[in-house]
Amino acid sequence: MAADGYLVVRAYTSAAELPVSGATVSVTEQGDNGARLIATRITDRSGRTTPIRISAPNKSESLSPGLPTPFTDVNILVDRSGFDRVLIEKLQIFAGIISEQDVEMMPLGEHPDTFTMTEVVDITPQAL
């Protein structure tokens, strides 16, 4: 039986962690038939999305060795005009937990030759 976990994304720029509002956040899950869009949100004035509900395995289904992992892997793409895109792969979402993912956005003005660059962050799976 599946349960729900939640994800909140916070986009910011610079070491001062200035919020990036108006960024498009797309959350996908990789399945047998390709990627499935779970949700799309726009960051608010504080650079945050509203919580995104994501179906995750119930904790009780993973209490013994050999059972499925107790999380759902999702990919997050954060995009805003004037900034490099950021792709976070294999972020783990657990049932009953609100996961918060910080995303540092790099302004294009700092790297004008890389205006189509996408920074890819690959999260290592939990060793449970």
Residues near 61 by beta carbon (within 8 Å), at least 6 away in sequence = 1, 67, 68, 70
Q: What is the CATH class of 2-122?
A: mainly beta
Q: Where are the domains of the chain?
A: 2-122
Structure confidence by residue, pLDDT tens digits, 8-45? 999 999 888 899 999 999 999 988 888 899 999 999 99
Residue 124 confidence (pLDDT) above 80: no
> What pLDDT, in 10s, does the model give residues 64-102?
676 677 889 999 999 999 998 999 999 999 999 999 999
